[in-house]
Amino acid sequence: MSVLHLLGSRGEGGAETYFVDLVSALNAQGPEQACAIRGNAGRSRALAEAGVVTRSYPFGGPLDILTRPRIGSYAHRVGAKALVAWMNRAARHAPAGPWRRIGRLGGYYSLKYYRGFDHLVGNTRDIAEWVVAQGWPSDRVSYIPNFAEAADQGAPVDRASLDTPEGAPLLLGMGRLHDVKAHDVSLKALAMIPDAYLWIAGDGPLEDKLKAMATALGVADRVRFLGWRNDAGALYRTADVCVFPSRFEPLGNVVIQAWAHGLPVVAADSQGPGALIRHGEDGVLVPIDEPEPLADGVKAILADPMLKIRLIQNGHARVEGEFSRAAVVGEWESLFSRLGAL
């Protein structure tokens, strides 16, 4: 018996990274996990290293009539008792069969893609409540958060390798170079924080625009665009403060990861971070699209070592109590058991 996970996105992002993390963790605990993914060599390699059998499929648009039956054949071969569809594209290609179909939602997705599914999982309480508000039966919805743990990725990054002075305050921004991630707000805030440097890890369509903005603001010499990175843990351990000004963020996995790695967070009060962070206790919340409060939050942490220590300690406690690997894996296993997939 096994659980088959479907992921239809090709690119890199927080959801895709967590897909590998959760599937690997579930496979380590049992039952056996398998994956049907859209082609991505790095993801296939990471899953193979975790002992997860993986096959690649096109996951194309409306004219793709072959992916669904092929996944159905694959599900029969691996003895799948449940199919977990990650996001809409995967849900569209998830075949009906003698297995339970579960939709894993990391946002406020159109539920038309999940018609006929047996259960939906939201990774925030708000998403789960929203699903019920759309008319989905409450006994077929669960809230299971993402887990976070400090990645074992060796020493912090050598700042000199990125032309960053050892003693300078270092801010870290994580996420795709897309308008919703609001890296432009971080750049404007950096202009108000003398001597600080900003590393931005992620790729996306706004790279040229953001670099031009950094030049116009006079901070280009203090910004490093790192592109997509596979050493997030090392980056978290190197920085002094994580800045997360996303305009729209259903969850805010960056917040949980920063907590796990002992990095204080200043985040915009969008849906996910606003629900996660207890302002002044385990993080600092600032208004959306406001560079000055973001800069003030960073400066407050840099100027007050006791505040920084309190935020780090309380963030770590939140991870241990609510977002640990063991707790989250246990909740997924309980769901599979309730649905007869174990």
121 plus 133 within the same structural domain: yes
140 and 180 part of one domain: no
CA distances from 86 to 15, 120, 135, 258, 315 (A): 9, 10, 21, 24, 27
pLDDT the model gives residue 154: 66
Domain membership flag for residue 131:
yes
Residue 155, pLDDT score: 84
Residue 153 is predicted with a pLDDT of 56
**Residues 174, 226: one domain?**
yes
Q: State which residues form the domain around 88.
A: 2-147+324-338
Res 11: pLDDT: 84
Per-residue pLDDT of the chain (342 residues; tens, 9 = 90+): 689 999 999 888 888 999 999 999 999 987 899 999 999 999 999 999 999 999 999 999 999 999 999 999 999 999 999 999 999 999 999 999 999 999 999 999 999 999 999 999 999 999 999 999 999 999 999 999 999 988 765 689 999 999 999 999 999 999 999 999 999 999 999 999 999 999 999 999 999 999 999 999 999 999 999 999 989 999 999 999 999 999 999 888 899 999 999 999 999 999 999 999 999 999 999 999 999 999 999 999 999 999 999 999 999 999 999 999 999 999 999 999 999 987
18, 45: one domain: yes
Retrieve residue 337's tokens: 């058991």
CATH number of the domain that residue 109 is part of: 3.40.50.2000
Q: Do 143 and 250 fall into the same domain?
A: no
281 and 229, same structural domain? yes
153 domain residue, yes or no: no
Residue 105 has a pLDDT of 96
The answer to whether residue 152 sits within a structural domain is: no
Beta carbons of 106 and 123 less than 8 angstroms apart: yes
Instruction: Please tell me whether residues 167 and 275 are part of one structural domain.
Output: yes
Do 196 and 263 lie in one domain? The reply is yes
Report yes or no on 191 lying in a domain.
yes
Whether residues 301 and 173 fall in one domain = yes
Domain count, the chain: 2
Residues 49 and 180 in one domain: no
Please state whether beta strands 32-38 and 80-86 pair in parallel, antiparallel, or not at all (unpaired): unpaired
Q: Are residues 129 and 168 in the same domain?
A: no
Torsion of CA 149, 152, 156, 161, to 10 degrees: -120
Torsion over CA: 277, 283, 284, 290 (sign): negative
d(CA 285, CA 210): 23
Q: Is the domain of 30 the same as that of 81?
A: yes
